[in-house]
Structure 1
Amino acid sequence: MSALPEIRVLPPGLKNQIAAGEVVERPASVVKELVENGLDAGATRIDVTVEQGGRALLVVQDNGAGIPTDQLELAVTRHATSKIRDFRDLSDIGSFGFRGEALPSIASVSRFTMTSRARGADEASQIEVRAGEVASKGPAALASGTRVEVRDLFAATPARLKFLKTESTENRRCQDVLMRVALAHLETGFSLTVGGRELFRLPPGQTLADRLAAFWPPAVCQGLKPFDCARDGYRAHGAAGSPSTAQGRGDRILLYVNGRPVQDKLMLSAVRQAYKGMLLSREYPQMVLFLDVPRDEVDVNVHPAKLEVRFIDERRVFSAIRSGVLQALSDPDGIIGSSCAAPEPGRFPAPSGFPGSPAYRESPSSGSAGSAGSSRSAHRPAAFQDAKFSTYRAFTEDQTRALDLPVTPSAAEAGSGLSGGPAGPEPSMAREPGPDALRPATLSGSGYTYLGQIADTYLVLRRGADLELVDQHAAHERVLLAAMREQRKKGDSQPLALALELPLHPSEAEVLADLREDLRAMGFVIEMDGPAKALVRGIPPTLETGEAREYLKDALAEKARGLDDLWTMMACKTAIKANQPLAVDEALALLETWLKTPEREFCPHGRPVVLRWTPNDLEKLFKRK
């Protein structure tokens, strides 16, 4: 039996690199640590520079208190910190950095230079660290604060370097980190320069709405509602997005605890619970949520990166968050409602700059920008209510033909408003069924008999002794998606005589660059006219110009990601809706096509299209068994 290796103390350089593996995951981690150091130093301005995704150079400069010359070397020593003194301080942490690991960890995996001038000092001092060892130190030139330069990150640790993504991806992650910090510190000004180009410059003293407008597209920001809920000593405040602007990814749900960006399942669960019944299973709202709790009731010392927290009273956390978000969703004017007690006067600053907040209501230009509804069904555009079947005509004439199925003309079109004439009365769940609503008809070659439409939403079928209900919207979504997959890979496009101009927010321009090939595959022909405007010269044949514009706005607001998500979103937009009456031949055309469609049991979002009851099921329902 071989002898066990002897226990030995690791050399300092290796200890620092192990610590760096926990703290410095990628360039964005360096940005986060250095920016938070600047905030702890009381900076009112922080400027960040990124080159080559952060691999070549990262610079973070602040105008904070600075570091005295005799403490500069100590600052790059592990477990040396000014933030805590004894064990009791760990239960009352008010700073962002307190472990004393960030600077030495970063210095151990880069060429590190820090220049600082303490307030009241006659001159600045500089220290250079190479591979975790101090290479030089001495006087330097700097007006105030601290400047940290990180060069050749991970050059000496190629195992970590190979896990970095492309330059554009790492740049975007650095931007995202700075955005998250900037949203929590409105009193501080921030700037970001990437590859020699300034991406944004945020002045100090902005409202949360103004800060968000620099990062999120207008379509998203206009649907945000402020909330501010204080309950049992906990406060949840921020801005919640309308369900109508929900997207397919959760990257616009930003969570904070005492000003610290976090990732927390409990907080996310409370947000999802507040939106329950308003979103589909794969939809996510936009949310900026700040949770303020007593410092001794939250543990921020869970992970070296400090992204995770633990709460003493999870029930109170859940309740405060859910009540705050419901406040925004239940009150169309964004005024504090009965779901939560108002914060004590003067204790917390009121949210401002959003529709419904005092600053917004006083603005003469606010108009109705903030009147987006809190549910899709309650605020459906009038075009879907009155022009009963314009979208269905697109299905019968284009998608059905694309699947080599016969097009059945609608016998109910004449005089019913289906061909562009005056629309009939608005459909209602309580109205009497029309003469065609419950007329049995056989679906050719399928064994199904169509029995009629219930509540202008569900199509009733009989197959043998079984009873089935089909959701007409979900079925049409599935049919449209199948047609798009079959036909639109060809990139067929309808040229526009006059190009459609789309002004672009900086975030939308980035998304367009990522989606351009997928949009071209769908039939969109798009050219850039400068950095802030796109020209649409061709659109898919089945879209009208107005529909194409709205579709692109949603796509650029990142409601979808990738070609299949884009198709799914288009299918949902153009499918017939609930509460739309169908003539018998229209229902038959939809059902016959749906029965020949792959994956027809579920809609593209994962909801069931059809429910079935066998005689045995019905006997159980009626308690015959």
Structure 2
Amino acid sequence: MAERQSIRILPSELANQIAAGEVVERPASVVKELVENCLDAGASRVDVAIERGGQGLVLVQDDGWGMPSEELELAVTRHATSKIGRVEDLFAIRSFGFRGEALPSIASVSRLRMASLAADQQEAWSISVEAGRITTQGPDALACGTRIEVRDLFFNVPARLKFLKTQATEAKRCQEIVARLALAHTAVAFGFTTDGRTLLRFPPGQELARRLAEIWPPPICEGLAPFDFSLHGIRAHGLAGKPEAAQARGDRLLFYVNGRPVQDRLLVSCVRQAYSGRLLSREYPQVLLFLELPPEEVDVNVHPAKLEVRFKDEAVIFTVIRRALLQALETEGHGVHPSGNNLRESAMPFGRKASADPQQPAKFPSYSEFQASESRQSSLDIRHLASAQPSPRTESTTPGPYLSGESKTEAYADTSASSMDSVDSRTDARPWTESARPAHASRPTGPTCVAGQVLPEHAEHGAPVYLGQVADTYLVLCLPDGSLGLLDQHAAHERVLYARHASQSGRSEKRALAVPLELPLHASEQSKLDELWSELLDLGFNLRRPRPDLLTIVSIPAMLEPAAARDLLRESLTGQSSPDGRLHDLWALLSCKAALKANQPLAQAEAMALLTEWAATPEREYCPHGRPILIRLSAKELEKLFKRS
């Protein structure tokens, strides 16, 4: 057991390092604090340069009003600030920094040099600080404003260095900080350079959309709609993306409260509520939201780095943001039908006659060709009515309402094949019913569905029966327990293709292009391409990079058409999919691009081929994006729908 230690005042050096741990997490934290100081100083131009991801050097220079020589030493002293002077000021904060902790905290874990020229002075002055101790002071040469150099970050606390990522990752985070602040201050010019290479250059007075186009790829920016709504002195304005451009990560949800970048769960909840019914559960839209309200209505003093805020009236905030976003979604034609939600793969209206496109090749071969080429049997025995043998006892002369529209021969389900109780041991596919039925269990007493009629059982065992296709999107099945099944053909095919990619990782077939495709690259796409390069090669692409802003596609995955391959690359590089650069995210995107679509009629053989392949696929209940593939309606649920209680 540890011995009791006496209470004592911490040495100033240790106290500064503890404070630094709260404020200075990584080089991007330094960039954020210093640039915000520039904006508080009335700067019209801010230039940021870093080296070695910011660990070697962070240099920030502005043309603001500067500091007089006698205040430089105070600026690197803890709890010294010009932005608040009394308790009441904490409830009306309009500046970024106000605690007086940033500069001394940074100086305590680095070698800092600061030069500044006050507007009313003739000569600039500088101060140098190493590990929190002032080393030199004296006159300096500076035309205007303030220049701060932070070198060798964490040199005196090496334990902190192991928590940093690669230099490229840290540099990217610094760039994102500058870009985000630049979006909130379009009147100010910004520049960002890393290791001598300029990555950002924003002129003063630039329009928000133009500035955002330098950060986000064109396909994202082209779909943004403006919004502006005010209520009770609170204003929400900005840009909102189309639901169709949603992505799997929320890194393009940018929130500002009175010009301050924040991360807030309430604001995320507001956005998701506004997009409710337009997105899948794991998708996030692109939203650039500026919230303006009286300072006394928001508390920004709840986080050392001032990333979180607390609102006085959350209900009003929620209402304002939701109505503002709905304004953008509905006026730009992104709204949903008032009677229900939009689906990504929406079905054709019921009763509308569909015709297959004669120019569109079949996605599946005939059922017999499929079985011969695949050389494997499904774990489930799936039947189609047209191929079943009629019972000599009760053959009907009146055809029933066939959903498939391909046959008018009355037929019964053929149950002579093997029972669906046996599941192929090579897969972990789950049985059709919620729980596996033992081989010795009695047959369910529910009816067998045949072509719109209900017939008595006539066999010991049964199997799923394919009835037809609805709205050229859903395959209708009669399940062994007598329940009705609706299977989404797009989602099922996605799961099948995804399983193929997972089993053939690194061995994907390629198709060479007679004429290579060229894909111009936006600046943000270039860095994303570097992250995904090896994964794209594993996926089946053969790529060339003649210059940084151009990609040449020499070969593509065999299952894709050139146009779909180009779309897959573009969506990957814009971040709409594969958010973490992992191969399975690219498999999901590739599967989505190559899979059957909604509103695509299927012949009987094609539907049977899909069902047979899907039945043998692991984890077949959900598509790679988490959507359900098969919906079951039990006899009791059907009785409720028809009010047969």
Distance (Å, rounded) in 2 between the aligned partners of 1:170 and 1:53: 5
SS of the aligned residue for 1:571 comes to: helix
In the alignment, is the contact (CA less than 8 A) between 2:346 and 2:598 conserved in 1? no
In the alignment, is the contact (CA less than 8 A) between 1:458 and 1:472 conserved in 2? yes
Cross-structure match for 1:197: 197
SS of the aligned residue for 1:256 comes to: strand
Count of aligned pairs between the two proteins:
562
In the alignment, is the contact (CA less than 8 A) between 1:52 and 1:195 conserved in 2? yes
Cross-structure match for 1:462: 478
Distance (Å, rounded) in 1 between the aligned partners of 2:601 and 2:286: 34
Q: Which moved more, 1:146-155 or 1:579-588?
A: 579-588
- The alignment status of 1:251 with 2:248, answered yes or no, reads no
For 1:605, which of 611, 619, 625 is the aligned residue? 625
- The alignment status of 1:524 with 2:541, answered yes or no, reads yes
Cross-structure match for 2:277: 277
- Report the CA distance between 1:450 and its aligned residue: 0.9
In the alignment, is the contact (CA less than 8 A) between 2:243 and 2:334 conserved in 1? no
- The alignment status of 1:161 with 2:131, answered yes or no, reads no
In the alignment, is the contact (CA less than 8 A) between 2:45 and 2:62 conserved in 1? yes
Distance (Å, rounded) in 2 between the aligned partners of 1:56 and 1:542: 47
Cross-structure match for 2:325: 325
SS of the aligned residue for 1:555 comes to: helix
TM-score (norm 2): 0.82
Cross-structure match for 2:434: none
Residues 270-295 of structure 1: CA deviation (Å, up to 9, x unaligned): 10111111111111111111111111
- Report the CA distance between 1:379 and its aligned residue: 13
- Report the CA distance between 1:396 and its aligned residue: 4.6
SS of the aligned residue for 2:506 comes to: helix
In the alignment, is the contact (CA less than 8 A) between 2:93 and 2:295 conserved in 1? yes
Distance (Å, rounded) in 1 between the aligned partners of 2:286 and 2:151: 36
In the alignment, is the contact (CA less than 8 A) between 1:394 and 1:542 conserved in 2? no
Distance (Å, rounded) in 1 between the aligned partners of 2:598 and 2:64: 58
For 1:510, which of 506, 527, 532 is the aligned residue? 527
- The alignment status of 1:478 with 2:508, answered yes or no, reads no
Superposition CA RMSD, Å: 2.9
Q: Aligned pair in 2 of structure 1 residues 388, 88: CA closer, same or farther (>3 Å)? A: farther
Q: Which moved more, 1:167-176 or 1:579-588?
A: 579-588
Distance (Å, rounded) in 2 between the aligned partners of 1:578 and 1:378: 7
Distance (Å, rounded) in 2 between the aligned partners of 1:168 and 1:2: 43
In the alignment, is the contact (CA less than 8 A) between 2:539 and 2:557 conserved in 1? yes
For 2:589, which of 569, 573, 585 is the aligned residue? 569
SS of the aligned residue for 2:362 comes to: helix
Q: Which amino acid aligns with 1:297?
A: E
Q: Aligned pair in 2 of structure 1 residues 387, 240: CA closer, same or farther (>3 Å)? A: farther
- The alignment status of 1:393 with 2:362, answered yes or no, reads yes
Distance (Å, rounded) in 1 between the aligned partners of 2:176 and 2:407: 53
Cross-structure match for 2:442: none
- Report the CA distance between 1:387 and its aligned residue: 6.8
In the alignment, is the contact (CA less than 8 A) between 1:493 and 1:539 conserved in 2? yes
Distance (Å, rounded) in 2 between the aligned partners of 1:510 and 1:309: 32
Distance (Å, rounded) in 1 between the aligned partners of 2:99 and 2:30: 15
- The alignment status of 1:586 with 2:594, answered yes or no, reads no
Cross-structure match for 1:423: none
For 2:518, which of 497, 501, 504 is the aligned residue? 501
In the alignment, is the contact (CA less than 8 A) between 2:193 and 2:199 conserved in 1? yes
Q: Which amino acid aligns with 1:435?
A: G
Cross-structure match for 1:417: none
Which aligned pairs between 1:127-146 and structure 2 lie closer than 5 A? 127-146=127-146
In the alignment, is the contact (CA less than 8 A) between 2:404 and 2:469 conserved in 1? no
Q: Which amino acid aligns with 2:308?
A: E
Distance (Å, rounded) in 2 between the aligned partners of 1:43 and 1:396: 67
For 1:538, which of 535, 555, 564 is the aligned residue? 555
Which aligned pairs between 1:338-353 and structure 2 lie closer than 5 A? none
- Report the CA distance between 1:455 and its aligned residue: 2.9
SS of the aligned residue for 2:620 comes to: coil
Cross-structure match for 1:10: 10
- Report the CA distance between 1:391 and its aligned residue: 7.6
TM-score (norm 1): 0.85
Q: Aligned pair in 2 of structure 1 residues 508, 609: CA closer, same or farther (>3 Å)? A: same
Cross-structure match for 1:412: none
Q: Which amino acid aligns with 2:76?
A: V
Q: Aligned pair in 2 of structure 1 residues 612, 392: CA closer, same or farther (>3 Å)? A: farther
- Report the CA distance between 1:403 and its aligned residue: 5.1
- Report the CA distance between 1:4 and its aligned residue: 2.7
In the alignment, is the contact (CA less than 8 A) between 2:355 and 2:601 conserved in 1? no
Q: Which amino acid aligns with 2:609?
A: A
Q: Which amino acid aligns with 1:71?
A: E
- Report the CA distance between 1:615 and its aligned residue: 3.8
Residues 431-486 of structure 1: CA deviation (Å, up to 9, x unaligned): 99562389877697551111222233222212332322212221111112112222
Which aligned pairs between 1:109-508 and structure 2 lie closer than 5 A? 109-332=109-332, 376=344, 388=357, 393-396=362-365, 404=375, 435-436=405-406, 445=418, 446=420, 447-464=463-480, 465-487=482-504, 489-508=506-525
Cross-structure match for 2:389: none
Distance (Å, rounded) in 1 between the aligned partners of 2:181 and 2:408: 59
- Report the CA distance between 1:619 and its aligned residue: 5.1
In the alignment, is the contact (CA less than 8 A) between 1:437 and 1:454 conserved in 2? no
Distance (Å, rounded) in 1 between the aligned partners of 2:471 and 2:333: 32
Q: Aligned pair in 2 of structure 1 residues 270, 379: CA closer, same or farther (>3 Å)? A: farther
Q: Aligned pair in 2 of structure 1 residues 612, 379: CA closer, same or farther (>3 Å)? A: closer
In the alignment, is the contact (CA less than 8 A) between 2:364 and 2:606 conserved in 1? no
In the alignment, is the contact (CA less than 8 A) between 1:392 and 1:575 conserved in 2? no
Cross-structure match for 2:577: 560
Q: Which amino acid aligns with 2:569?
A: L
SS of the aligned residue for 1:515 comes to: helix
In the alignment, is the contact (CA less than 8 A) between 1:551 and 1:570 conserved in 2? yes
Distance (Å, rounded) in 2 between the aligned partners of 1:400 and 1:259: 62
Distance (Å, rounded) in 1 between the aligned partners of 2:373 and 2:195: 47
In the alignment, is the contact (CA less than 8 A) between 1:62 and 1:147 conserved in 2? yes
In the alignment, is the contact (CA less than 8 A) between 1:56 and 1:152 conserved in 2? yes
Residues 129-160 of structure 1: CA deviation (Å, up to 9, x unaligned): 01111111010010000000000000110111
Distance (Å, rounded) in 1 between the aligned partners of 2:616 and 2:197: 53
In the alignment, is the contact (CA less than 8 A) between 2:485 and 2:631 conserved in 1? yes
Q: Which amino acid aligns with 2:531?
A: D
In the alignment, is the contact (CA less than 8 A) between 1:274 and 1:325 conserved in 2? yes
In the alignment, is the contact (CA less than 8 A) between 2:623 and 2:629 conserved in 1? yes
Q: Aligned pair in 2 of structure 1 residues 402, 536: CA closer, same or farther (>3 Å)? A: farther
In the alignment, is the contact (CA less than 8 A) between 2:187 and 2:204 conserved in 1? yes
Cross-structure match for 2:64: 64
Distance (Å, rounded) in 2 between the aligned partners of 1:608 and 1:469: 10
